[in-house]
Amino acid sequence: MQEIPGNQNINGESEPNSSVKSHIPEQVEVISDNISKMYNQFKESEQYEGIQDKASKVKEYIKENPVPSVLISLGTGIILGLLFHRKR
């Protein structure tokens, strides 16, 4: 492993770079805050409400029509399997 100059303690043992250690959590915190803000903005948007409405309609359809729902899922799985199948 390559040593970084100036990172040795009194005993001559190498120490982890403390400035990097303290800087990484700040970056992670900033990214986390940004993602949280973006998610909250999305939850308050009309698109989120539309997605919720469509999801509830899909759930109702599945409850009312279980057999066609299973057949649609099966057919979709077969088609995707054929499309993405790699020849070995």
Q: What is the pLDDT of residues 29-59, one digit of tens each?
A: 899 999 999 999 999 989 999 999 999 999 9
Give yes or no for residue 7 having a pLDDT over 70: no
Average pLDDT score, the chain: 82
When pLDDT is averaged across residues 63-69 and rounded to a whole number, the result is 95
Answer whether residue 9 is part of any domain.
Answer: no
Answer whether residue 5 is part of any domain.
Answer: no
Give the three-class secondary structure for 8. strand
Answer whether residue 13 is part of any domain.
Answer: no
Q: Which two three-digit tokens encode residue 51? A: 């997605």
Give yes or no for residue 1 having a pLDDT over 80: no
Question: Which domain does 44 fall in, by range?
Answer: 18-84
Contact of 3 with 12, CB cutoff 8 Å? no
pLDDT at 88: 60
1 versus 88: the higher-pLDDT residue is: 88
Report the C-alpha gap between 78 and 83 in whole angstroms.
9
Answer whether residue 10 is part of any domain.
Answer: no
Number of domains, the chain = 1
